[in-house]
Amino acid sequence: MLNNTLLTPLHDSHLQLGAKLVDFAGWDMPIHYGSQIEEHHAVRRDAGMFDVSHMLAIDLDGPASKPYLRHLLANDVAKLGQPGKALYSCLLKENGGVIDDLIVYFFTPDRYRIVVNAGTAEKDLAWMQACAAGFDVRLAPRRDLAMIAIQGPNARSKFWQAYPGSRAASEALIPFQAAFDGDWLIARTGYTGEDGFEIAVPAEQAAAVWAQLLSVGIAPCGLGCRDTLRLEAGMNLYGQDMDETISPLEAGLAWTLAMKDERDFIGKAALLAQKPKRQMTGLLLLERGVLRAHQTVRTSHGDGEITSGSFSPTLQQGIALARLPLAVATGESVEVDIRGKLHPAKVVKPPFVRNGKSFVS
C-alpha cells in the first residue's frame, strides 16, 4: 500500500470483515466482502450498508450562503423551503462542463451542507472557495465526519431497530430530506434506487455505529455493488458518464438545470447557447453478455458510445448508459460492438430497476 493512501474511519472494520480492498480515487475502499452480486441483492431485497466516508461534506455558514449557492449551482437552492430538504445539482464551469455532481442540504438560509464526490473533493473545494470571493460565506470541509449509506426496502426499519432513539428524529423524513439527531445528520437519500438513509456521524463513533448496524443484520456492501445498483437505477457516475468536457444537456441532466427564471449561475450563458447533438439513453443487451464503458454503439443515426456498462444482477442482462445521437428514439434497435462483433441491443429510458422492480421488461 502506498504511504499516501487515504483511509476512512471504517478501514479497520472493513479489514475485520475480510473485505477485498481496492484503490478508489486514492482511498483504500472495499469493493466487496465476498460476493458483489449477493450484496447487490441484499440492497434490492433487504438492507445493506456502504462506507461512503471518502465523500466530502462541506458546511456553508454565513448570511450570503443562499445567494452564493444560487450563483454557484446549476440547480436552484431557492426550491428548498423546508429545513433539511436536499437537492441534487451539478457544479459547472463557465463553459458548461461538469466539475462535479453533488447533494446540497438546506438547514437555514445561512447554513447549508454540500456533499461532493471523493475524486473531485479537492478540486471542488478550491473552485468553491474561488467562487466565494465577494460573498459573506465560510466553507468548512468536514473530514471529521464519517458517512454510512443504509439502503434497501428494510433499511429504515433495521436502522430504527439498531437505534430506536433515532426513530423520532427520522421517521417523518420524506425522500430528499434530512434532520439532525444530536450530532448525527440523518438523510433520506441514497445512490441505489432503494429507500434508506445516509447518516453522517463523528468519525470517532463510526466503527461502533457500523458494528451496531451489522448486529441487526444490515449487510456490509462494497463499492462494486454500489456501481451496479446506481446503474440499474439510471444514475450517472461522475468521471464516467459526465465530466468537465461534457455538457449536462448531453449527460441526461437537463432535469437538474433550473434555467427558466432570471437567476444567473455559473455556466448558464454557455448552456443557453448550446445545441445538444447527443443524448443519454439506457441500453439493454438482447443477448447474453456484459456491456462495458467505451464500447461503440451503432445506430441508424450514427455511432454513439457506452459511458457506463455492466451486468444487471436484478435483470440478469447486460445494461448500460450510452451517449447516442439525438435522433435515436426510445425502443429503437441498435448494435453494440463487443470485441469486434455486433450484438443487438434496445434503447430504453432509464431507470432499469428501482425499488426492487424492473422498469424495462
Partner 1 sequence: MNVPATLKYAKSHEWAKLETDGTVTVGITDHAQEALGDIVFLELPEVVRPLKSGEECAVVESVKAASDIYTPVSGVVIAINQAAVDAPESINQDAYAAWLFKLKPNDAATCTAELGALLDSAAYTKVAESE
In whole angstroms, the minimum distance from the beta carbon of 311 to partner 1 comes to 4
- Span from 10-18, 42-50, 256-264, 306-314 in contact with partner 1 (CB under 8 A): 306-314
Tell me if 36 contacts partner 1 by CB under 8 A. Answer: yes
CB nearer to partner 1: give 99 or 306.
306
Report 235-294 residues binding partner 1 (CB under 8 A): 288-290, 292
Q: Hey, which residues between 137 and 196 contact partner 1 (CB under 8 A)? A: none
Determine which residue in the list 6, 37, 78, 293 makes contact with partner 1, applying CB under 8 A: 37
Considering only 31, 118, 246, 253, the residue that binds partner 1 (CB under 8 A) is 31
53 binding partner 1? (CB under 8 A)? no
Shorter beta-carbon distance to partner 1: residue 139 or 293: 293
- Is 311 among the residues that bind partner 1 (CB under 8 A)? yes
Cell of 175: 425522500
CB of 263 to partner 1, least distance (A): 42
Minimum distance, C-beta of residue 155 to partner 1, in the bound complex (Å): 22
By the rule CB under 8 A, 30 interacts with partner 1: no
For residues 64-103, which are near partner 1 according to CB under 8 A?
none
Shortest Å, Cβ 40 to partner 1: 8
Task: Count the Cβ atoms, other than its own, within 10 Å of residue 343.
Answer: 18
What is the contact surface with partner 1 in residues (CB under 8 A)?
A: 20, 31-32, 35-37, 224, 228, 288-290, 292, 310-311, 313, 339
